[in-house]
């Protein structure tokens, strides 16, 4: 079978990567529709060497579409994905709109592909920071049990979209030219105040909540539990997060402290697990100064893990460092990979 595919948000940072990832995927594409807002209607983008015109999204854009890959913001997903499902499409949604819906599977193919079997037309792609963390932690959880995770993130500007990435590059140029930096988007578009990211660190990703945590931090907590154990409020693994935007264009870093149940686990055993884990590349060679970095992860589909070491103060506790391309494994590749799994399982 060949599929008619629509990319919703095709002109965005993730949408652009979705086009590339679909080009390189095993999914047989009969026809591709590139959808965005009215602002982009008439622009052209390239798919498999052919120009495709971008269309304004309307409910009828999904007529005859088998598969939708969407990354155009939560409200756009809420508005259009039910229309797509009504017309018979299966949607893989990269926004947070449906992630906590109990009827919507939240899937990372290396971790919980079986959750796809129960879909009702919409599959949610997790948050970029959650994806790379669970890919690295799941093999460890399977082998040794996972009690607790404490994560601090170092997140790239592109996670906030193409306009945030452009704003960051402009700030860097302005700063080096001795000009005043301006900020209109970061830390997060809808909020009251904006700060420059260039030569700075912003401990706010998405909106801040009364709980004292940012929305991004809550996403990491609840999504990790839903993906690993199928319950967003599960007591274990315990998860807490601090999410920070750093002046990097592409690829998120994460410092992860975790405690396992099996107190006999060693760092060498964990490295061996990671070496053989699907989707993971172990980059951990201290003698040769080998460890994951954003610049070396950019453009790759894998999750890179290094600096794996025991916490000498706590038994059964470890630290490690994870880096992945937030636009690929954190978004576009995970979405296309989910779509490939749907095709393989006969679920579209």
Helix axes 215-229, 128-144, angle to 10 degrees: 40
The smaller minimum CB distance to ligand A2P, of residues 320 and 328, is found at 328
Residue whose CB is less far from ligand A2P, 198 or 332: 332
Query: Rounded to whole angstroms, how far apart are CA atoms 8 and 72?
Result: 6
Q: What is the DSSP string of 111-165?
A: T-GGGGGG-SSEEEPPPHHHHHHHHHHHHHHHHH-EEEEEEEEEE-GGGG-HHHH
Residue placing its CB nearer to ligand A2P in the complex, 70 or 112: 70
Residue 11, interface with ligand A2P (CB under 6 A)?
Answer: yes
Asked if 161 is part of the footprint of ligand A2P (rule: CB under 6 A), the reply reads: yes
Instruction: Provide the mask over 102-131, with x wherever binding to ligand A2P is found by CB under 6 A and - wherever it is not.
Output: ------------------------------
Instruction: Please tell me whether 121 is known to bind a ligand.
Output: no
Q: How far apart are the C-alpha atoms of 88 and 171, rounded to whole Å? A: 44
Whether the CB-CB separation of 217 and 242 falls below 8 Å is answered with yes
Pick one of 162, 170, 242, 319: the residue that binds ligand A2P (CB under 6 A): 162
Segment interacting with ligand A2P, rule: CB under 6 A, options 32-40, 93-101, 252-260, 287-295: 32-40
Q: Taking CB under 6 A as the criterion, which residues in 233-292 touch ligand A2P? A: none
| Residue 326 touches ligand A2P, criterion: CB under 6 A | no
Q: x/- site string to ligand A2P, residues 70 to 109, per CB under 6 A?
A: --xx--x---------------------------------
Residue 293 neighbours by CB distance under 10 Å: 16
Q: What count of residues does the chain have?
A: 348
**Among 5, 6, 13, 197, which residue interacts with ligand A2P (rule: CB under 6 A)?**
13
What is the DSSP track for 280-296? Answer: EEE--BGGGTB---HHH
Backbone angles phi, psi at 260, to 5 degrees: -105, 160
Burial of 130 (0-12, 13-18, 19+ CB in 10 A): buried
Q: Contact between 36 and ligand A2P (CB under 6 A)?
A: yes
Give the residue ranges of the annotated binding site: 11-14, 39-40, 99, 155, 158-159, 245, 326
Write out the residues near ligand A2P by the rule CB under 6 A. Answer: 9-15, 36-37, 39-40, 57, 72-73, 76, 161-163
């Amino acid at each position: 079978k060949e599929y008619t595919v629509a990319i919703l948000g095709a002109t965005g940072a993730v949408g652009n990567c979705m086009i590339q990832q679909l080009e390189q995927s095993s999914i047989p594409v009969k026809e591709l529709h590139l959808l965005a807002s009215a602002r982009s209607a008439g622009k052209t983008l390239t798919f498999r060497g052919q120009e495709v015109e971008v269309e304004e999204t309307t409910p009828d854009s999904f007529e005859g579409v088998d598969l939708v890959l969407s990354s155009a913001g939560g409200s756009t997903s809420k508005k259009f994905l039910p229309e797509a499902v009504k017309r018979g499409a299966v949607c893989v949604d990269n926004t947070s709109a449906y992630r906590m819906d109990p009827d919507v599977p939240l899937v990372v193919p290396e971790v919980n592909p079986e959750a796809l079997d129960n879909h009702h037309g919409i599959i949610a792609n997790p948050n970029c920071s959650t994806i790379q963390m669970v890919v690295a932690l799941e093999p460890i959880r399977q082998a040794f049990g996972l009690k607790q995770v404490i994560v601090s993130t170092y997140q790239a500007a592109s996670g906030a979209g193409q306009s945030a990435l452009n704003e960051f590059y402009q700030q860097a140029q302005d700063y080096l030219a001795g000009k005043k930096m301006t900020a209109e988007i970061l830390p997060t578009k809808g909020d009251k105040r904006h700060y420059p990211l260039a030569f700075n660190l912003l401990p706010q990703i998405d909106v801040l909540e009364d709980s004292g945590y940012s929305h991004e931090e809550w996403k990491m907590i609840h999504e990790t539990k839903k993906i690993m154990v199928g319950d967003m409020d599960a007591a274990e693994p315990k998860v807490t997060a601090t999410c920070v935007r750093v002046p990097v264009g592409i690829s998120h870093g994460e410092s992860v402290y975790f405690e396992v149940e099996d107190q006999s686990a060693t760092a060498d055993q964990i490295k061996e697990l990671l070496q053989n884990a699907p989707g993971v590349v172990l980059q951990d060679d201290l003698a040769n100064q080998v460890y994951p970095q954003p610049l070396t992860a950019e453009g790759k589909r894998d999750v890179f893990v290094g600096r794996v070491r025991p916490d000498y103060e706590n038994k059964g506790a470890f630290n490690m460092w994870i880096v992945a391309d937030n636009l690929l494994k954190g978004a576009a590749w995970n979405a296309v990979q989910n779509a490939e799994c749907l095709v393989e399982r006969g679920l579209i």
